Amino acid sequence: MIAKLNLWWMIFRISLAERLVYRGDFMLSTFVRFLPIITQILLWTAVIGAGDSDNIKGMKIGDIIAYYLLVTVARAFSSMPGLTHGIAGEIRDGEIKKYLIQPIDLIGFLLVKRIAHKLVYYMIAFVPFAIVFFLLREYFSGWPPVHTLMAFGASLLLAFCIGFFLEATFGFIAFWWLEVTSLMFIYMLMNFFFSGHMFPLDFLPDWLRNIFDCLPFQYMAYFPCAVFLGRMTEAQVIHGLWIGLGWAVFFCLTANLSFKWGVRRYSGFGG
**Tell me, what's the pLDDT at 159?**
95
Q: Which domain holds residue 122?
A: 2-263
Residue 269 falls inside a structural domain: no
First to last CA, the chain: 33
**Tell me, what's the pLDDT at 104?**
79
Give the model confidence (pLDDT) of 154-182 as tens digits: 999 999 999 999 999 999 998 888 788 88
- Fill in the DSSP letter of residue 1: -
Task: In whole angstroms, give the CA distance from residue 143 to residue 93.
Answer: 49
Residue 271 falls inside a structural domain: no
Residue 13 falls inside a structural domain: yes
**Tell me, what's the pLDDT at 157?**
96
Look at the chain and report how many structural domains it folds into.
Answer: 1
Residue 47 falls inside a structural domain: yes
Q: What is the DSSP string of 9-51?
A: HHHHHHHHHHHHTTHHHHHHHHHHHHHHHHHHHHHHHHHHHHS
Give the count of beta carbons closer than 10 Å to the beta carbon of residue 230: 12
Give the model confidence (pLDDT) of 62-89 as tens digits: 788 888 889 988 988 998 988 998 998 8
In one-letter notation, the amino acid at residue 55 is: N
- Could you list the beta-strand ranges (E) of the chain: 55-56, 59-60
**Tell me, what's the pLDDT at 170?**
93
- Cα distances from 242 to residues 39, 54, 213, 246, in angstroms, run 34, 35, 13, 6
Residue 270 falls inside a structural domain: no
Residue pair 34/42 in contact by the 8 Å Cβ criterion: no
Residue stretches of the chain with pLDDT short of 70 = 1, 3-4, 19-23, 25-27, 30, 33-34, 51-52, 54, 268-271
Find residue 59's DSSP bridge partners: 56
Exposed, middle or buried, 72 (CB in 10 Å: 0-12/13-18/19+)? Answer: buried
Torsion of CA 231, 232, 234, 239, to 10 degrees: -150
Residue 268 falls inside a structural domain: no
The sign of the dihedral angle between the CA atoms of 38, 44, 47, 48 is: negative
Residue 20 falls inside a structural domain: yes
**Tell me, what's the pLDDT at 3?**
66
